[in-house]
Amino acid sequence: MVVISHTSFKGQQYSVDTLQWYHIGGSGVDLFFIISGFIMCYTTYNKKVNFLNFMRNRFIRIIPLYWVLSFFALIVFLISPNLINSSGGETGIFESFFLIPNGSKFLINNGWTLSYEFYYYFIFSFFLIFLLKDLYKYLFIILYFSVVVAIGLILQSKSEFLMFLTHNLLLEFALGVLAFIIIKNTSLSRLMS
């Protein structure tokens, strides 16, 4: 879904309209964030989670491969910048490697999704270490993201970083957490096992 969507956008840049009909592909990221919200709850349910170990494991699982791919993208960028960032705008090399959301383009176009993933991982693991019952942990995660998105809607900030911290995409992680709560606490959990 996401690949077809990106192919469609790239085709538009070169006046190829073969995939113009396919605009639903962007929802693949939305689905990915919802699934991520669900999976983190599923994999930590009834387990003692150490904040540093949790974050380290996420880092080790994702960042080394991302850095290798970013390094290759950097080489291509240095040789022919338009192959990496053909949509225009400034490409932030430092921001790309460290997933800093400041409005510049990343070397890997989809790297911005990892910025949101790691924000979610940080908040998720933060609440897991402070609260006792899983249900309360998960409800506080939903509450946190709901409140920060509401603050973002009220403030309407032009700061790229503040917009990132309060973006409505964060509600998709909350939806994944909510889906887990519903499945775990209803007859759906018996049907799925």
Tens of pLDDT, residues 63-110? 999 999 999 999 999 998 888 876 667 888 999 999 999 878 899 988
Residue 171 domain boundaries = 29-192
Residue 7 lies inside a defined structural domain of this protein: no
Instruction: Compute the residue count for the chain.
Output: 193
- Whole-angstrom Cα distance, residue 140 to residue 43? 18
The total number of structural domains that make up the chain: 1
CA 135 to chain centre: 23
Q: Does residue 131 have a pLDDT over 50?
A: yes
Residue 18 lies inside a defined structural domain of this protein: no
Residue 14 lies inside a defined structural domain of this protein: no
Residue 73 lies inside a defined structural domain of this protein: yes
Residue 149 lies inside a defined structural domain of this protein: yes
- Whole-angstrom Cα distance, residue 163 to residue 155? 9
**pTM greater than 0.75 (yes/no):** yes
- pLDDT grade for 133, boundaries at 50, 70 and 90: confident
